[in-house]
């Protein structure tokens, strides 16, 4: 942890972004931690809180009130947390996350997450990636969404995988049970924003909201009807974008909320069966392998809790 440090920009620093300048001066920190320090106004530029996009000039003075280092926020190994490996080689691991397990901790003391399980079996992975509380993992799933998550085993593989996810090159397929009988196929296009009136919920809009302070994110979801029941439909869902709650929010906005998804108005029962959680499963991933550069596809079968729901509907 860095507290009270003071540095002065030199001529060679002139015009540098403040976050890049700080990371160069304090390499024991990370880009994510530097940005958090800036957002929390823990860095003063000439005695005023430094903005993330600010640029330093020769002679500028920067004072660090508080800047965490990577070692401060390391994920704690948790060998008791389950880890189901679908595939592994020298470059990556493909994991099948159970429902109810968060992908990564939000605090150092937290355990029981996929990241805790991962570093317990593979300690070196704690050093991969820019966020110490989100090591090696290339993407996220909601806590109650089961299914596939990819982790990198090297820094080069991590950069390659993250570039594919950010560039929307990864084909992500899900199984979802929704209320109502849907069309045979559909494509949903919205702008999603965080709901300022309800923490943790997203709002879907056909047009990008102009309200100040909202950051609209474009989301595209495609679906195909896999099986129709009397009051609900099993869907094969495909997304390339990766916006928070994308599938859940967009299907609800279309009038087909996911069964068991109370946050977005989904029914708590499917037929005569109580839903243990929202019925959403990350069933397959297709992407380019980071070392062979060949297209690879991985699948995870529907878990027992969701399969029982389907069996009861038949």
- Summarised one tens digit per residue, pLDDT across range 97-151 is 999 999 999 988 899 999 999 999 999 999 999 888 999 999 999 999 999 999 9
Q: Please, which pLDDT band fits residue 262 given cuts at 50, 70 and 90?
A: very high
d(CA 175, CA 279): 8
Percent of the chain with pLDDT over 90: 79
Written as six digits, the tokens of 294 are: 């060949």
Residues 64 and 100 both lie in one domain: no
Please say which residue of 45, 71, 97 terminates a domain. 71
Mean pLDDT, residues 283-310 taken together: 97
- Summarised one tens digit per residue, pLDDT across range 40-96 is 999 999 999 998 889 999 999 999 999 988 778 789 999 999 999 999 999 999 999
Residues 62 and 189 both lie in one domain: no
Q: Please, which pLDDT band fits residue 214 given cuts at 50, 70 and 90?
A: confident
The answer to whether 158 and 138 are in contact (CB under 8 A) is yes
User: Which residues form the catalytic set?
Assistant: 142
pTM above threshold 0.85:
no
CATH of the domain at 276: 3.30.2350.10
Residues 203 and 302 both lie in one domain: yes
Considering its fold, how many domains does the chain have in total?
3
Residues 29 and 63 both lie in one domain: yes
What is the overall mean pLDDT for the chain?
93
Please say which residue of 132, 166, 200 terminates a domain. 166
Residues 299 and 188 both lie in one domain: yes
Q: Please, which pLDDT band fits residue 169 given cuts at 50, 70 and 90?
A: very high
d(CA 91, CA 89): 6
3-state secondary structure the chain: CECCEEEECCHHHCCCEHHHHHHHHCCCCCHHHHHHHHHCCCEEECCEECCCCCECCCCCEEEECCECCHHHHCCCCCCCCCCCEEEECCCEEEEEECCCCCCCCCCCCCCCCHHHHHHHHCHHHHHCCCCCCCCCECCCCCCCCEEEEEEECCHHHHHHHHHHHHCCCCEEEEEEEEECCCCCEEEEEEEEEECCCCCCCEEEECCCCCCCCCCCEEEEEEEEEEEECCCEEEEEEEECCCCCCHHHHHHHHCCCCECCCHHHCCCCEECCEECCCCCEEEEEEEEECCCCCCEEEEECCCCHHHHHHHHHHC
Residues 179 and 253 both lie in one domain: yes
* Residue from 122, 121, 195 nearest 153 by CA: 122
Residues 207 and 188 both lie in one domain: yes
Q: Please, which pLDDT band fits residue 192 given cuts at 50, 70 and 90?
A: very high
Give yes or no for residue 215 having a pLDDT over 90. no
- Summarised one tens digit per residue, pLDDT across range 291-304 is 999 999 999 999 99
Please say which residue of 125, 141, 166 terminates a domain. 166
Q: Please, which pLDDT band fits residue 210 given cuts at 50, 70 and 90?
A: low
The pLDDT, as a whole number, for residue 212 is: 66
d(CA 186, CA 294): 30
Q: Please, which pLDDT band fits residue 197 given cuts at 50, 70 and 90?
A: confident
CATH of the domain at 38: 3.10.290.10
Residues 197 and 258 both lie in one domain: yes
Q: Please, which pLDDT band fits residue 267 given cuts at 50, 70 and 90?
A: confident
**Is the CA virtual torsion 236, 242, 243, 244 positive or negative?**
positive
The domain in which residue 150 lies consists of: 74-166
């Amino acid at each position: 942890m860095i507290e009270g440090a003071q540095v002065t920009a030199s001529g060679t620093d002139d015009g540098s972004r403040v976050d890049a300048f700080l990371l160069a001066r304090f390499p024991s920190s990370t880009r994510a931690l530097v940005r958090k320090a800036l957002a929390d106004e823990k860095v003063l530029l000439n005695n005023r809180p430094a903005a993330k996009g600010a640029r330093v000039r020769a002679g500028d003075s920067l004072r660090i009130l508080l800047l965490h280092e990577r070692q401060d926020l390391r994920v704690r190994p948790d060998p008791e947390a389950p880890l189901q490996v679908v595939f592994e080689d020298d470059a990556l691991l493909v994991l099948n996350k159970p429902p109810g397990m968060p992908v990564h901790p939000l605090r150092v003391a937290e355990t029981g997450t996929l990241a805790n399980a991962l570093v317990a079996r593979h300690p070196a992975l704690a050093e991969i990636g820019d966020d110490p509380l989100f090591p090696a993992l290339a993407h996220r799933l909601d806590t109650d969404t089961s299914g596939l998550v990819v982790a990198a085993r090297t820094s080069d593989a991590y950069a390659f995988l993250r570039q594919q996810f950010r560039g929307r090159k990864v084909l992500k397929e899900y199984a979802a049970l929704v209320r109502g009988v849907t069309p045979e196929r559909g494509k949903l296009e919205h702008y999603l924003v965080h709901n300022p009136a309800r923490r943790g919920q997203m709002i879907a809009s056909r047009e990008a909201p102009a309200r100040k302070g909202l950051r609209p994110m474009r989301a595209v979801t495609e679906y195909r009807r896999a099986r129709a029941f009397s009051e609900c439909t099993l869907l094969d869902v495909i997304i390339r974008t990766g916006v928070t709650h994308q599938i859940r929010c967009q299907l609800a906005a279309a009038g087909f909320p996911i069964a068991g998804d109370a946050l977005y108005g989904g029914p708590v029962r499917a037929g005569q069966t109580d839903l243990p959680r929202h019925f959403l499963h990350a069933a397959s991933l297709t992407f380019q392998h980071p070392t062979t550069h060949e297209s690879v596809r991985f699948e995870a079968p529907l878990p027992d809790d969701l399969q029982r729901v389907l069996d009861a509907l038949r």
